[in-house]
Amino acid sequence: MLVAETIVPTQPASLRDRIDEVSTRLILRGATGLASVDFELLGQSAQEQGNDLVAAIARDLSRQIAEASSSDQTDLTRILSGGLVRMQALLKEPAVAATVESISVEPSEKTASQIQANAAIQSLSADMDLIREFVTESLEHLSTIEGQVLILEKNNTAAETLNSIFRAFHTIKGLAGFLEFADVQALAHEVETLLDLARTARLTVTSQVVDVVLESTDVLRQELHGIEIRLGGNIPPPSRINESLLLKIRKVSRGEVEQSGNTAGAPVASSISPEGSGKIATAPPAERRIEVGRSSDSSSSVRIDTAKLDQLMDMVGEMVIAQTLIEHSPALSMVQDVRFLKDLTHLARITSDVQRITTGMRMVPIGTQMQKTARLVRDLSRRAKKEIVLETFGEDTELDKTIAEELADPLLHMVRNSIDHGIEPPEERIALGKNPTARIRIAAYHQSGQIVVEISDDGRGLNREKILAKAQQNGLVQSGTQLTDNEIFLLIFEAGFSTADKVTDISGRGVGMDVVRKHVQKLRGRIDIQSEQGKGTTFYLKLPLTLAIIEGLVIVVGDQRYIVPIYSTKEILRPKAEMLSTVQGRGEMAMVHDTLLPIVRLHRRFEMKPRTTSLADGMLVVVESEGRQFCLFVDEVTGKQEVVIKSLGESFKNIPGIAGCAILGDGRVGLILDMDGISNGRS
């Protein structure tokens, strides 16, 4: 039964073409790409052809554009695309539903189904929300795929693993078909075909198969990001989906099929190890993720825009503060009513529950970030010709979504660094009496209100003397300075620092570790290092559980109070006269533990009248920013407090030295200081 034959253009092509042209512009550029006059013209030509219905719709749409405010573009896009589809449908009528036998199998001719598909699909492919959802869901599928492929590499006959990878590509292909992303559809189709051969045992999963699947995953991910960029109204980088990639996949599937008669298609597990390349041991919890996209998202979860979550978080912060204000209100001491006081306690409990749950809503398991490193270890260990096993622990440890995302880069950099610098080549390891297969271990856990991520390797360890010598040579450290091991090791995070004798394509350019520190500091975290020469190195990343609340030191200057984040303070001291000096060209300095630190007078920085201008009468807070220490001169330090960070709004958000504000216990506002800004502002 060929339904396509029932579609006969009943109108001159020009009107249909014009409607199609307008639809295309809507899809490409959104509602902003169209003006009211476009539909006016459509209406006119429909009228001329005597198609009153189409003309009416066009005029209606023209009016909608004229009346729409610039804020509701998404709604307008939806209305316009709906209207255009109606017009297209009207022009296609009469598409009489042909009589169908009890079983109807659709024609497989591409042309027939495509012609037909056009009208309805157009409205799907013009729906920005749907496309956005497609991107999100497909990206999730891709990370599932990556994890599964690495499991597959270990056990190339794992049927359910193969099947779940197949299904993920299958779904991406299907959805791409509906939304008319032909390139995505084509690539997913090729990989799907390849995997189909594998799961029906017509193809052995070799390392080539794994490579090509991973490569396709990368290309698809880039393509999806491209779609996202296009949605944002920008031009994405050119697509990497091309005929040669498709051919390559086809070759892999065909080549292996031909060889399956003989023994050439050696299975992965045995083909990798002899080359001395990477093997990945992912901990069992990954199995859990096979089921991604199933029941959990069908009924028990809802996707929420993170902006909404942030807003909720913000409002909950306000609520907690309001609650504190009531609790500390002097009026409360007059209240005798026991019942009222009891209700108040109840309210306080509910408030803290709400706060806890809201914070929890932003939490995601760290496992996804660990999976990314698994992929990196696999690729890099092959390139560096080192045998490495990656062990991960605590994938279920939850942390704030933003922190988790920001953590991805530092984690990758550090693992990369371990592979390149830390781990010796197998021959060297054997000579040292070590196991030729090196071990990288990533563990995540909660410790006293913080998340700790440990990255350790059993490589050569950091060379204390070499680092110190290099640092002195670069002028990062004056000779004779006493430093602890940790302090010396932390020097590797300085910009431009690299002890690698030669630069490889993996690392050693002195970038990377510097980036790691920046990222971690941005997240208000810190890094510690333990290392033993010849035995290995462990990095400890310590991060806060949430970015919404910080622990701060409340300081007073004049009649103002400020908050200095605890993570950037080192020490508080009352200066003695003999500590203070003035150094030509560098201003006032304080000698703290044999180190000369510059003093920043906060009252000068913010042009205020302090209680005292004499250094000996105030306090010095030693702070650190971007690895440099300096002293803040303040009137007084009044205590430590947890505060909810609030933004200062659009107009004040870029004041150097101020990170935001917080409402203090008594309801007054305190400004939160940003040490990087203050450090850069001092001259």
Partner 1 sequence: MRKAVLLVDDSAMMRKVVSRTLKMAGLEFEQVLEAGDGAEALTCLRDNNVELIMCDINMPVMNGLELLQRIKEENLAVGVPIVMVTTEGSEPQVRQAILAGAKGYIRKPFSADHIKNSVTPLLAP
Residues of this chain that bind partner 1 (CB under 8 A)? 1, 3, 85, 95, 97-100, 102-106, 108, 113, 116-121, 123-124, 130, 133-134, 137, 163-164, 166-167, 170-171, 173-175, 177-178, 290-291, 293-295, 297-299
Ranges of beta strands (E only) in 382-521 are: 388-393, 398-400, 438-447, 450-457
Please state the closest distance from residue 128 (CB atom) to partner 1, in A.
14
Please state the closest distance from residue 162 (CB atom) to partner 1, in A.
12
Cα gap 633→598, rounded to integer Å: 10
- Look up residue 509 and give its two tokens: 């350019």
Q: Token match 């949430």: residue? A: 546
Nearer to partner 1, 164 or 569 (CB): 164
The three-state DSSP-derived secondary structure of 512-556 is CHHHHHHHHHHCCCEEEEEEECCCEEEEEEEEECCCCEEEEEEEE
Nearer to partner 1, 301 or 683 (CB): 301
Nearer to partner 1, 174 or 656 (CB): 174
Nearer to partner 1, 7 or 266 (CB): 7
Among the listed residues 489, 444, 451, the one whose alpha carbon sits nearest the alpha carbon of residue 470: 489
Cα gap 653→599, rounded to integer Å: 26
Q: Within a 10 A sphere around the Cβ of 183, how many other Cβ atoms? A: 18
- DSSP secondary structure string, 245-285? HHHHHHHHHHHHHHHTTSS-S--HHHHHGGGT--EE---GG
Please state the closest distance from residue 284 (CB atom) to partner 1, in A.
18
Nearer to partner 1, 90 or 476 (CB): 90
Please state the closest distance from residue 244 (CB atom) to partner 1, in A.
24
SS3 of residue 494 by DSSP: coil
DSSP 8-state assignment for residue 294: S
Nearer to partner 1, 122 or 358 (CB): 122
Please state the closest distance from residue 182 (CB atom) to partner 1, in A.
11
Please state the closest distance from residue 429 (CB atom) to partner 1, in A.
42
Among the listed residues 527, 519, 356, 555, the one whose alpha carbon sits nearest the alpha carbon of residue 451: 527
Task: Report, in angstroms and rounded to the nearest whole number, the Rg of the chain calculated over CA atoms.
Answer: 32
Nearer to partner 1, 116 or 282 (CB): 116
Please state the closest distance from residue 292 (CB atom) to partner 1, in A.
9
Nearer to partner 1, 177 or 436 (CB): 177
Cα gap 427→404, rounded to integer Å: 37
Nearer to partner 1, 140 or 379 (CB): 140
Nearer to partner 1, 290 or 678 (CB): 290
Please state the closest distance from residue 213 (CB atom) to partner 1, in A.
18
Residue 597, CB half-sphere, CA atoms under 13 Å: how many?
28
Cα gap 144→677, rounded to integer Å: 41
Residue 272, CB half-sphere, CA atoms under 13 Å: how many?
29
Ranges of beta strands (E only) in 106-164 are: none
Contact 236, 227 (CB under 8 A): yes
Partnered with residue 640 across adjacent β-strands are 553
Among the listed residues 167, 165, 293, 176, the one whose alpha carbon sits nearest the alpha carbon of residue 223: 176
- Taking CA atoms, 432 is separated from 73, 424, 428, 499, 534, in Å, by 66, 10, 6, 22, 9
